[in-house]
Amino acid sequence: MASTSGTIPTTGRYRLLGHPADLAGHLSTLGPVPLPSGSRGWREAFVSMLESSGLAGRGGGGFPTAIKLAVAHAAGSGGTIVVNGMEGEPSSDKDKLLLMRSPHLVLDGAQLMAAACGARSVVVCVPEGRDQVASAVSTAMAERTGAGCAPVHEVLVRPPDRFVAGEESALTRWVEARQSLPSFRPDKGTALKIGRKGALVHNAETLAHVAMIARKGPDAFRAHGLVEDPGTSLVTISGAVRHPGVVEVDRGTPLIDIVNRSTPDGPPQALLVGGYGGAWVSPAHFTTPYASLPLRAIGATAGVGIVIALGQEACGLMESARIAHYMAGESAGQCGPCVYGLPAIAGDVTRLARGDIDPGLRARLDRRLAEVMGRGACRHPDGAVNMVRSALGVFASDASSHALGEPCAHWNNRSQLRFPPPVAAARR
Amino acid sequence: MIRILVDPVACDAYGYCAELLPEAISLDEWGYPVVDGKPLPADLAEAAKRAVRDCPRRAITLRERKGSR
């Protein structure tokens, strides 16, 4: 969290950051939210604007926002807009920053979505413990209510601060029944519910984009990024860099250009893109554009907007083992393959990094990775499996020398990654 | 075409399903079912229904597969 002070300002007409945090400043800089004023055809115009903007979710899934809205609209009116400010990835700060610096932009986006699908309430989720963020949001809500900027009732709730708590079905279930557990949903395309009514969950950044697009129009958004993956994205940069923090980049910016904005300590050995459920990227792919399709082509994903630089003085396998242990500890504890599989995988990666003599190790690890993949109710185990698989590829030469009983020189170095204090895990 | 779905939240690794339908379901090293995902031959439909019925956790459901996924 401390690194949010390292924000690097961006320039250009379309941007999410850098606007006043208070309502008066927000409205005088950006103008009023174009909410419907009884005018016919508002909804159609809004939906077509969202469609032509090409906005896709910034919370990890990358699903087209207009389609998600259509599904929620079909589920009927009277539902809930859930603002996902959970940001469970330990290396992500962008949603905290956005909710602290531009809370009104996020809330405007939620109000627009509420108007477009006839929702009756807006629920903003900020985890327990993040009091600075929560207080910024509640201050903003009070200002809005007083000024009549919240036609749909806005409320702040505080789910537990856990990795999977932000998974959308876990979030709707928490709002409904105070249980922070993902649900088994074989048909992920169907609308989520809170009570009998539909629930539309959007990442905080996605909603900020919605509010900007509604004001500036889809072309201002499309002026940034790629034709097939337009707009800007908030990315949190950390690891072996001098100035960790959040930057706003155009989609399609080469990975290395993103990292360079935080001044790496030296040429990175690898990048972890997309967070702890993301993928390692080797130097051969450092020029890959930060966009869904090019990242998918190298086995990565934009995830929630995280780029971590791994310095030369680190063991990528040991760092991966630490992540795998962390992910194992963050399982919701519901599904056997996740509960038993992730600790087993983490143990195997640790043994590999340490150079333990264990001839069956690699085959066992590969089998476990294949078996755990896709067998949880949510994608938590899949993220961990993908991360480990990418590590075995990117750090392949390390893996083979470690398998011969040679640990690397850096395996016992202090981690370059961020993990929450163990207290957070013990509290569960 | 029938598709076997295991609800991993409900499943408690009793393992009856793999015993009743070994042609399509195996168990991982912790005893949780792994469905092979291949189309289920028609002559196994009865055994599949029995696996659904006999699961103490009601974790298995059968679905008509629409297209391939």
3-state class (DSSP) for residue B37: coil
CA A38/CA A192 separation, integer angstroms:
28
| Separation CA A401–CA A13 (nearest Å) | 51
CA B19/CA B7 separation, integer angstroms? 18
> What average pLDDT score do residues A97-118 get?
97
Taking the C-alpha atoms of residue A259 and residue A271, their distance in angstroms, rounded to an integer, is 9
Domain count of the fold of chain B: 1
- Over residues A365-370, the mean pLDDT reads 97
The verdict on a CB contact (< 8 Å) between B5 and A186 is yes
d(CA A211, CA A193) in angstroms, rounded, equals: 24
Tell me, what's the pLDDT at A351? 93
Q: With CB atoms and an 8 Å threshold, state whether A371 touches B13.
A: no
Of A181, A337, A371, which is closest to B8 when you measure between CB atoms? Answer: A337
Task: Identify the pLDDT of residue B67.
Answer: 52
Instruction: Note whether B11 contacts A335, CB cutoff 8 Å.
Output: yes
- CATH code for the domain of A353: 1.20.1440.230
What pLDDT sits at residue A415? Answer: 94
- 3-class DSSP assignment, residue B55: coil
A268-285 pLDDT, tens per residue?
999 999 999 999 999 999
Buried b / exposed e along B9-38 (16+ C-beta atoms within 10 A): bbbeebebbbebbeebbeebeeebbbbeee
How many domains is chain A partitioned into structurally? 2
| Residue A288, in any domain of the structure | no
Q: How far apart are CA A177 and CA A167, in angstroms?
A: 15
Does residue B26 lie in a domain region? yes
**Which residue of chain B comes nearest to A334, CA vs CA?**
B9
Question: For residues A378 and A339, is the Cβ–Cβ distance under 8 A?
Answer: no
Give me the amino acid identity at A345.
I
Assess B42–A contact: CB distance below 8 Å, yes or no: no
pLDDT band at B66 (very low <50, low <70, confident <90, very high): low
Residue the block writes with tokens 């189309």? B39
**What pLDDT shows up at residue A286?**
98
Task: Please compute the mean of the pLDDT values over residues A38-50 and round it to a whole number.
Answer: 90
Tell me which residue range forms the domain holding A331: 316-412
The verdict on residue B7 lying in a domain is yes
Residue A340 has pLDDT above 80, yes or no: yes
Same domain? A217 vs A329: no
**Predicted local distance difference test score (pLDDT) of residue A422:** 64
* Bridge partners, residue A289, by sequence: A254
For residue A59, pLDDT over 60 is answered with yes
Question: Does any domain span residue B55?
Answer: yes
The predicted-structure confidence for A287-321, as pLDDT tens digits, reads as follows 999 999 999 999 999 888 999 999 999 999 999 99
| pLDDT tens digits, one per residue of A151-167 | 999 999 999 999 999 99
Residue A394 has pLDDT above 70, yes or no: yes
Are A214 and A327 found together in one domain?
no
Task: Identify the pLDDT of residue A106.
Answer: 98
Secondary structure (H, E, C), chain A: CHHHHHCCCCCCCCCCCCCCCCHHHHHHHHCCCCCCCCCCCHHHHHHHHHHHHCCECCCCCCCEHHHHHHHHHHCCCCCEEEEECCCCCCCCCHHHHHHHHCHHHHHHHHHHHHHHHCCCEEEEECCCCCHHHHHHHHHHHHHHHHHCCCCCEEEEECCCCCHHHHCHHHHHHHHHHCCCCCCCCCCCCCCEEECCEEEEEEEHHHHHHHHHHHHHCHHHHHCCECCCCECEEEEEEEECECCCEEEEEECCCEHHHHHHCCCECCCCCEEEECCCCCEEECHHHCCCECCHHHHHHCCCCCCCCEEEEECCCCCHHHHHHHHHHHHHHCCCCCCHHHHHHHHHHHHHHHHHHHCCCCCCHHHHHHHHHHHHCCCCCCCHHHHHHHHHHHHHHHCHHHHHHHHCCCCCCCCCCCCCCCCCCHHHHHCC
| Residue, of A410 and A65, whose pLDDT is higher | A65
Q: Please check the confidence at residue A8 and state whether its pLDDT lies above 60.
A: no
Nearest by CB to residue B28, choosing from A183, A184, A371, is A371
Q: What is the pTM of this model?
A: 0.93
Per the model's pLDDT, the better-predicted residue between B2 and A305 turns out to be A305
Q: Is residue B39 included in any domain, yes or no?
A: yes
Check pLDDT > 80 for residue A424.
no
From the list B8, B12, B28, the residue facing A377 with the nearest CB is B8
- Domain coverage including residue B33: 2-64
pLDDT digit string (tens) for A232-257?
Answer: 999 999 999 999 999 999 999 999 99
How much is the average pLDDT of A49-73?
94
The conformation of residue B43, written as its DSSP 8-state character, comes to: G
pLDDT score, position A384? 98
Is B40's pLDDT higher than 60? yes
Per DSSP, what are the bridge partners of residue A237? A245, A307
Q: Which residue has the tokens 């009756």?
A: A120
The strand pairing partners of A306, in sequence order, are A236
Domain of residue A19, CATH code:
3.40.50.11540
Q: Do B8 and A371 touch (CB under 8 A)?
A: no
3-state class (DSSP) for residue B16: helix
pLDDT digits (tens, 9 = 90+) for A121-157: 999 999 999 999 999 999 999 999 999 999 999 999 9
Residue identified by tokens 């990292």 is A259
CATH number of the domain that residue B34 is part of: 3.30.70.20
Provide the 3-class DSSP secondary structure of residue B44: helix
A376:B31 CB<8 A:
no
The answer to the question of residue A214 being in a domain is yes
- Measured between CB atoms, which of B7, B10, B32 is closest to A337? B32
Residue A397 backbone dihedrals phi, psi, to 5 degrees = -70, -35
* Å between B33 CA and nearest CA of chain A: 9
Model ipTM value: 0.92
What's residue A425's pLDDT? 46
Question: Cβ of A184 and B31 within 8 Å?
Answer: no
Question: Which one of A366, A371, A378, A385 would you mutate to disrupt binding with B, by most B Cβ within 10 Å of its Cβ?
Answer: A371
- Give a yes or no: residue B69 inside a domain: no
Q: What is the DSSP pairing of strand A192-194 with strand B60-64? A: unpaired
**C-alpha span between A157 and A138 (Å, rounded):** 10
Mean pLDDT of chain A: 92
At B32 the three-state DSSP class reads: coil
Q: Euclidean distance between the first and final Cα of chain B, in Å? A: 12
How far apart (Å, rounded) are the C-alpha atoms in residues A156 and A141? 9
Compare all CA atoms of chain A with the CA of B4 and give the residue at the minimum distance: A186
Pick from A2-6, A83-87, A270-274, A373-377: least confident: A2-6
User: Rounded to 5 degrees, what are φ and ψ at A166?
Assistant: -90, -5
Specify the pLDDT at position A143.
97
Whether B10 and A184 lie within 8 Å, measured CB to CB: yes
Residue A112, pLDDT above cutoff 50: yes
- What CA–CA distance (Å, rounded) separates A416 from A311? 8
In a domain, A262, yes or no: no
Which of the two residues, A418 and A428, has the higher pLDDT score?
A418
Q: Is residue B24 part of a domain?
A: yes
Residue A406 has a CB neighbour count (10 Å cut-off) of 11
The answer to whether residue A12 is domain-embedded is yes
Q: Which positions in chain A have a beta carbon within 8 angstroms of at least one beta carbon in chain B?
A: 181, 183-184, 186, 334-338, 340-341, 344, 368, 371, 375-377
**Those residues with Cβ within 8 angstroms of residue B43's Cβ, 6 or more apart along the chain or in another chain:** none
pLDDT of residue A427: 42
Q: Using a pLDDT cut of 70, give the percent of chain A over it.
A: 96
Percent of chain A with pLDDT over 90: 85
In chain B, the residue whose alpha carbon lies closest to the alpha carbon of A373 is: B34
List pLDDT tens digits, range A162-215. 999 999 999 999 999 999 999 999 887 788 999 999 999 999 999 999 999 999
- Distance, in angstroms, between B13 CA and closest chain A CA? 8
Q: Averaged over A340-357, what is the pLDDT?
A: 94
pLDDT-wise least confident of A76-80, A355-359, A402-406 = A402-406
* Per-residue pLDDT at B1 exceeds 70: yes
Q: What is the mean pLDDT of residues A60-83?
A: 94
Q: Are A156 and A126 in contact (CB under 8 A)?
A: yes
On the question of pLDDT at A5 being above 70, the answer is: no
| B46: enclosing H helix or E strand | helix B45-54
